[in-house]
Amino acid sequence: MRQPTPDVVAHRGASAHHAEHTRGAYELALEQGADALECDIRVSRDGHLVCVHDRRIDRTSNARGVVSELTVAAMAEVDFTGWRHELPGSADELVRGPAGARERGVLTLDELLGMVRDHSRPVRLFVETKHPVRYGGLVEHKLVALLARYGMAGPADPESSPVLMMSFSQSAVRRFREAAPGVPTVQLFKRFRGSWRTGVLPPWADLAGPDIRLLREDPGFVERAAALGRDTYCWTVDEVADVELCRRAGVRFMATNAPASTRFHLAQSRPAQFGSVTTK
């Protein structure tokens, strides 16, 4: 039976309120009851997986440079929060600031996996590998190795996997599937390719990952994909109308920058027979 509402995935953390890919953004997302977290990863010059969306750190920090040319030690001295100047959403946030103090340093995937593992309730993590990159397929190989170190590379079944891998690169998803066949994969896309509109995806992809703009044009895609055994992960859903669209269409996972308000809208529109929202 299809679940009544989508799982809420915090896109780069609660990034509508705190600077993306920071500890504070993910801690707030967990406080707000997100079912899952989402991050983008790249390889640093010294071979670490770091949570940065762009090729460069210019937009999201007070420094400049290409991620693949910077070491983690160098990025540890960089402020990744100061570029955001929004007012706090509550008096508590005003007093404590993001995560209790001003944050410095890049967030590594190792740290984020630790947050997921140690959290008081089960939380899943969607990891997007970015391409094209200087180190090519190294990012997927390092991801598999890190998941193995955490005991997450070989789940008993897809539904029990705490991690899902995703990418816009078909070769990246295929490469990861070959190395870690038990971990679910998401093929992200901004437009339909070939038979994808019918719900037929590449064999190495477990879930479809369309842009919300595609579902606005063709909400029936979700049902077609589900008929072929493929759930849908939709990004990035912040508008109330889009939240409702995803709920009605049967989207399984919904990435949002604002987990709290998205969960509120889902609770308001949830059919009465399903009762109240359950915090997972």
**pLDDT (tens digit, 9 = 90+) per residue, 191-200?**
999 999 999 9
pLDDT exceeds 70 at position 251: yes
- When the pLDDT of each residue in the chain is averaged and rounded to a whole number, the result is 91
Q: Which of 11, 17, 48, 265 is catalytic?
A: 11
Q: Position 217: which residue type?
A: E
Q: Which range is least confidently modeled, 72-86, 121-135, 190-204, 263-277?
A: 263-277
Tens-place pLDDT, residues 109-154: 999 999 999 999 999 999 999 999 999 899 999 999 999 999 999 9
25's tokens:
């953004």
Amino acid 95: pLDDT? 45
Over residues 27-46, mean pLDDT: 98
**Residue 100: inside a domain, yes or no?**
no
Q: Where are the alpha helices (DSSP H) in 105-227?
A: 109-118, 138-149, 170-179, 212-217, 221-227
Cis preceding linkage at 279, omega within 30 = no
In the chain, the number of structural domains is 1
Indicate whether 70 belongs to any domain.
Answer: no
pLDDT at 147: 98
pLDDT over threshold 60, residue 273: no
Task: Identify the pLDDT of residue 280.
Answer: 33
Give the pLDDT of residue 195. 95
Asked if the structure places residue 239 within a domain, the reply is yes
Is the model more confident about 84 or about 8?
Answer: 8
Distance between CA atoms of 121 and 163, rounded to whole angstroms? 15
pLDDT at 179 over 50: yes
pLDDT at 182 over 60: yes
CA dist 132 and 255 (Å) reads 23
Distance CA 62, CA 33 (A): 30
Flag whether 246 is in a domain.
Answer: yes
Q: What is the pLDDT of residues 21-31, one digit of tens each?
A: 999 999 999 99
Whether residue 68 is contained in a domain is answered as no
Q: Tell me: pLDDT of 34 over 50.
A: yes
> Tell me, what CATH number does 42's domain have?
3.20.20.190
CA proximity to 161, closest of 122, 202, 112: 122
Host domain of residue 113:
7-55+106-269
* Active-site pick, 17, 21, 48, 53: 53
Is 53 among the residues known to form the active site? yes
Kindly report, residue by residue over 202-238, the tens digit of the pLDDT. 999 999 999 999 999 999 999 999 999 999 999 999 9
What percent of the chain is modeled with pLDDT above 70? 89
Please tell me the predicted confidence (pLDDT) of residue 96.
44
Task: Establish if 65 belongs to a structural domain.
Answer: no
The pLDDT value given to residue 270: 67
Instruction: Answer whether residue 94 is part of any domain.
Output: no
Name the amino acid, one letter, at 162. P
Q: Establish whether 11 is a catalytic residue.
A: yes
Please report the pLDDT score of residue 140 as a whole number. Answer: 98
Q: What stretches of 44-196 adopt beta strand conformation (E)? A: 49-50, 124-129, 163-167, 185-189
Q: Is residue 253 part of a domain?
A: yes
